[in-house]
Amino acid sequence: MEQTEQSMMIPKHIAIIMDGNGRWAKAHGVPRLEGHRQGVKAVRNMVRRCVELEVETLTLFAFSTENNKRTEEEIGWLFKLFLTTLKLEINKLNKANIRLEVIGDLSVFDDRLQKAIADSVSLLASNTGMKLVIAANYGGHWDITQAVKQIAHSHAKGGVGLDEINEQFFAKHLSLGSDSVDLLIRSSGEQRISNFMLWQLAYSELYFTDTLWPDFDASGLDRAIDSYQKRDRRFGSR
């Protein structure tokens, strides 16, 4: 990416739906687990490139609430891979001054994985660089529902009046608050948002690529950002 004035217009918040690990594995004649392992390598490349570009927040859709419909064996693989990756990468993230946040209904994870997540988030909490958000067992419907439950509970206890509830107040109860996404990228050719960050994607620019996630590299990210920079963001105005 050339260092022109336009190329300096880097989106502050990039979110990625990392799709295509299974299809990559099938195309290469290897087990699905190997596709997920190769997907982790692509994550490393994205984190590295986003740090280079000084992206403020990178959110990765790692595991959706709908992924629970997969086989128990594959879900077990994914959870184990998540745990292994956390242990392997945490010191590298810390060295890169990256903060970590994990959003979603984490109650489905076993105690060991929940502890690893909590310990990793705590270790990186004082860092001041890019924020890396992992959406794990996350869904946009779930996020909005849990926000409504928080507000309803507060209202029932007399903690908040109906006239105090507005968009800004509601957003504070979402997993990422009002941290809107500038650019959403989805790999593998699918052109939908699949229940991901429904509130925060209201005015996001969407970029779809046929590239399967394990093959999505820094040059692919640069092309997505180039496309973003050529768009006229109006946020609902003419």
Separation CA 11–CA 225 (nearest Å)? 8
With beta carbons less than 8 A apart as the criterion, state whether 48 and 93 touch: no
CA distances from 225 to 2, 40, 52, 170 (A): 12, 21, 13, 30
Separation CA 25–CA 212 (nearest Å)? 10
With beta carbons less than 8 A apart as the criterion, state whether 33 and 77 touch: yes
Task: Select which of 19, 143, 179, 182 is catalytic.
Answer: 19
With beta carbons less than 8 A apart as the criterion, state whether 113 and 169 touch: no
Separation CA 119–CA 31 (nearest Å)? 31
Consecutive H or E run containing 131: strand 131-138
Give CA 130 to chain center in angstroms.
13
Task: Select which of 45, 67, 94, 195 is catalytic.
Answer: 67
Is 105 catalytic? The answer is no
Is 19 catalytic? The answer is yes
Separation CA 81–CA 33 (nearest Å)? 9
Separation CA 169–CA 108 (nearest Å)? 28
List, by residue number, the catalytic residues. 19, 67
